[in-house]
Amino acid sequence: MKRALILCLIPIAVNAQNWPEWGQNPRHTGAVRVAGQRPVQALGQFTYDNLADQIRDDSGGELLVHYMAPLVDRDEVFTMSRGTSQWLSCRSGQPPCGTQRWGQMEWGVTKLRATPEGLEQQWTAISTWKPVPDNGSGWEPVFHPALYGGYVYVPAAAGMVMKLDRQSGELIDCLQPFDERDTSRFISSPLTTDTDGSIYYTVMKLDPAEPWTKDVEEAFLVKIDSAGQAQKVAFSDLVSSAPGEGCTAIFSEAALPWPPAPDAKPPSASCGSQRPGVNAAPAVGSDGTIYVISRAHFNSAFGYVVAINADLSPRWSASLRDRLSDGCGVLLPPNGEPGGCRSGTRTGVDPATNEMPAGRVFDQSSASPVVAPDGSVLYGAASRYNYSRGHMFRFSAAGEFMGTYDFGWDITPAIYEHDGTWSVILKDNFYPVGSYCGVPGFCGQGEARYHLTSLSPDLRPEWTYQNTNDQACDRLEDGSLSCETEPSGFEWCVNMVAVDRDGVVYANSEDGNLYAIDRTGQMIGRLFLKTAIGAAYTPLAIGGDGRVYTQNDGTLFVVGER
């Protein structure tokens, strides 16, 4: 095994891999045409994040990291590496500590080979990529390379992409779409590749001293074709109709219950420029149309699903505002009751604004657009007023609003095509949080229930599976389990499920298990991996032989029957 530190300082067929990128393919459908193996046993494991325990200890027991999906081609597997990164707990009182150290840490990619004995490390290449600075949420953004042909494409610093030889890990080229090297310019999304070998990703330039309180300096969608030629388009040109000032803000908690009066007007504040949602991977439809998620820099409630032509000219932008009417008195308890809005409030409004609710683009989410078989587009947006469940939005190929489902938080839905139609697969968590605020006296606390759900194309439930496991376990060194009861249960910690050719859904849970759920909503397999752990939103992948590559506590597991 070798380790290479690569500094990108120089100027600048069909992708048949089993799982080469976020969402498996450019449309992000998360589906494969092979039968997945049942989760009978762990056939190998590899710890890729040696800092997982320290990060969890520093975050109140939760692992606040968005990990990349394992990239798989036959017996070759690619995963994240921390390099020589060190973590300094903020309990030490010595800044920079915790997430403040992201700028001093390393991210890279490690190649593994699946053998009968397990996962064998081949090489590690360290990138110059750094995440956007912490915006106060504590969630680590995703570092996400992609495979195409004989190469691994890796995000790097200053908006660059490293092109690595897949067999050796050697640097082939640094793809540089910008004229100057500026480390305040960040790649903010996973890399997406299309069937022609072009790469798509988003970039934004932030103020070095005040990245979240000063406006974004620039924001781009970048396309690099298979010949290494780069194009880019500014988000300000993609969403030219977005407001720059006077965006709706929320009421003060001093005025609870919300809204302060039935006719209350919300405060307003600066919107900031449009820029990509952090972690949202561009999607590419079968016709070459590119889809990205945009939001106002200062206000997550002014977001858009954006369609772009293959030549990067704008096609349409669809607002996530003024689509919903399920707030006060609908998804919330009756007005005037605990958890409900103030008496006399109009039905359906968002209590925080007294306006029709908006889908929000939260930067701590990793939801990405998905292109359905009919060309329509799905996106999971956030919201606070429905117990933090968010909504799954659907727009037609022409940008027309087609409806929502009452869950969308941090999930890229999978698409299962079958019987001349298709289904949308997503997690469907009910969280034990306040209805629309964090003050129990006014907003109460919802009931914890955790589901996987299959929806029809018009977003109506077809089946649902509820995880009722209440055992929090850890695997000890001798292989035995130590367990205790967790009465509130465990949420699905996956940010994208994987679906095989038979409609079997594979998903991780915070209880530390990998589950297999068949197309009728029945559990047909479950395997405990390492530990029950909070909030590690981890995708998984299915290889060409049906083995499942899943994650738990910073460890990659290959799971199957043989």
Residue type at position 414: A
Asked whether 112 and 140 are in contact (CB, 8 A), the reply is no
> Do strands 71-73 and 76-81 pair parallel, antiparallel, or not at all (unpaired)?
antiparallel
At 4 the pLDDT is 46
| Distance (Å, whole) CA 515 – CA 535 | 17
State the Cα–Cα distance between residues 319 and 399, nearest whole angstrom.
9
Below-50 pLDDT ranges, the chain: 1-15
Q: What's the Cα-to-Cα distance from 154 to each of 20, 61, 126, 219, rounded to whole Å?
A: 12, 30, 9, 20
pLDDT at position 6 is 44
CA distance 303 to 223: 22
Q: How far apart are CA 90 and CA 50, in angstroms?
A: 18
Query: For residue 46, what are the domain limits?
Result: 2-560
Per the structure, the count of domains in the chain is 1
CB 403 within 8 A of CB 458: yes
Distance in angstroms (rounded) separating the CA atoms of residues 115 and 443: 53
What gap in Å lies between CA 143 and CA 539, rounded to an integer?
A: 13
In this predicted structure, what is the pLDDT of residue 16?
A: 57
Enter the pTM of the model: 0.95
What per-residue confidence (pLDDT) applies to 93? 75
Work out the angle at residue 35's Cα, subtended by the Cα atoms of residues 508 and 511, and round it to the nearest 5 degrees.
15
Residue 19: CATH number of its domain: 2.130.10.10
What is the rounded CA–CA span in Å between residue 234 and residue 222? Answer: 9
Residue 497 pLDDT: 97
Contacts with 337 (C-beta within 8 Å, 6 or more apart), sequence order: none
